[in-house]
């Protein structure tokens, strides 16, 4: 009895192993049969006992060589986390980075309108030709070959206008002075001096506002107040109007037509008001002036010493080049 229990236990263990080996052998025999029967050979030898159980295992290896699974199909693995997706497994190629779209999406919002459009944009947006009596701004004169016009803006100035008058008289040049209403009201005697010298006077608004962004009522006020000051100083109402900054709008042109005034533009702008230097002013005028040009200069609105010095150079040069001066 003392040795019977271990013997029975051994038999039970060996029997159990044999049963398990037979079970797995049967499964692998069915699946590996298509691979050439290697698995079934292991299953047949499993009846030999524990040693054949190892044979059954080798049969399973033969079955796996055929591509058939030896274990039930695994369940689906959970989706990898973002950190695991970014990791690169050794021996594999890193995932290709996502390239940006070929044409990025543009902003759907409207462009910023905090800044006013440039003067060039305003010029191009104006109507061409006459429409219902409305004239576009005059940018050229048509008085014959080599005839040009000189216009002088933002005065009258007690400091610079008398000097400009003396210079014009020296070279027998007639010009057009675009005058600001409140300067006219402050210096009416100087206005009369300009008119007496044979120069033309144009309306340049009352206070030099940018009219392009104003409604008709304040535009009319700017024009009419300046006309009143000029009439009081000279006894005449001007027939020319120049918009400050060259900023024209349909409302400005319509009011010019109603008042019987010709809108006066320019074609040569040396930007003397910005004081770029005497040489810059002179070279700009000489480079851009041709028959019919209307030249823009300033005698008011600030320090005009560079303008005066440039005129002393450019006037005799233009005359020597064969140009003659007229008024629009």
- SS3 of 81-104: the string is CHHHHHCCCCCCCCCCCCCCCCCC
Say how far apart CA 15 and CA 19 lie, in whole Å.
6
DSSP label at 296?
Answer: E
Can you tell me which residue has the tokens 């986390």?
81
pTM for this prediction: 0.61
Active-site pick, 199, 272, 298, 299: 298
Cis peptide before 156 (omega within 30 of 0): yes
Q: What is the pLDDT of residue 158?
A: 98
Q: What is the pLDDT of residue 171?
A: 98
Please enumerate in sequence order all residues whose Cβ is within 8 A of that of 44, keeping only pairs 6 or more positions apart, or say none.
25
Q: What is the pLDDT of residue 133?
A: 78
Told to judge if 143 belongs to the known catalytic residues of this protein, a careful annotator would answer no
Best CA proximity match to 131, nearest among 2, 283, 250: 250
Active-site pick, 153, 154, 272, 299: 153
Best CA proximity match to 17, nearest among 56, 61, 49: 49
- Cα R_g (the chain), whole angstroms: 50
Q: What is the pLDDT of residue 33?
A: 38
Query: pLDDT per position in the chain (328 positions), as tens?
Result: 444 444 444 444 445 444 444 444 444 444 433 333 333 333 333 333 333 333 333 333 333 333 433 344 444 444 444 433 333 333 334 334 333 333 333 333 333 323 333 333 322 233 333 445 799 999 999 999 999 999 999 999 999 999 999 999 999 999 999 999 999 999 999 999 999 999 999 999 999 999 999 999 999 999 999 999 999 999 999 999 999 999 999 999 999 999 999 999 999 999 999 999 999 999 999 999 999 999 999 999 999 999 999 999 999 999 999 999 999 9
Return the axis-axis angle of helices 188-196 and 216-234, rounded to nearest 10°.
70
Told to judge if 153 belongs to the known catalytic residues of this protein, a careful annotator would answer yes
Q: What is the pLDDT of residue 12?
A: 46
């Amino acid at each position: 009895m003392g040795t019977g229990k271990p013997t029975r236990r051994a038999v039970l263990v060996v029997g159990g192993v044999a049963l398990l080996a037979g079970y797995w052998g049967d499964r692998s025999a069915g699946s590996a049969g298509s691979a050439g029967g290697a698995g079934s050979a292991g299953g047949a030898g499993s009846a030999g006992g524990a040693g054949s159980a190892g044979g059954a295992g080798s049969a399973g290896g033969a079955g796996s060589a055929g591509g058939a699974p030896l274990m039930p199909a695994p369940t689906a693995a959970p989706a990898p986390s973002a950190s695991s997706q970014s990791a690169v497994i050794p021996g594999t190629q890193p995932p290709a980075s996502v390239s940006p779209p070929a044409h990025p999406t543009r902003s759907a919002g409207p462009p910023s309108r905090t800044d006013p459009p440039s003067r060039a944009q305003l010029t191009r947006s104006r109507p061409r030709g006459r429409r219902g009596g409305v004239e576009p701004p005059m940018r050229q004169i048509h008085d014959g070959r080599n005839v040009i016009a000189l216009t002088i803006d933002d005065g009258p100035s007690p400091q610079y206008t008398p000097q400009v008058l003396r210079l014009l008289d020296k070279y027998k040049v007639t010009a057009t002075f675009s005058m600001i209403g409140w300067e006219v009201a402050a210096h009416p005697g100087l206005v009369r001096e300009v008119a007496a010298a044979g120069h033309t006077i144009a309306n340049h608004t009352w206070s030099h506002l940018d009219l392009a962004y104003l409604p008709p009522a304040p535009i009319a006020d700017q024009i009419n107040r300046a006309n009143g000051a000029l009439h009081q100083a000279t006894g005449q109402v001007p027939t020319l109007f120049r918009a400050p900054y060259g900023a024209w709008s349909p409302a400005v042109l319509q009011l010019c037509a109603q008042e019987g005034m010709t809108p006066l533009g320019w074609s040569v702008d040396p930007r003397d008001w910005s004081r770029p230097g005497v040489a810059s002013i002179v070279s700009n005028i000489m480079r851009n002036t041709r028959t019919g040009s209307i030249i823009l200069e300033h005698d008011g609105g600030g320090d005009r010493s560079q303008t005066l010095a440039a005129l002393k150079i450019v006037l005799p040069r233009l005359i020597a080049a064969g140009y003659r001066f007229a008024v629009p």
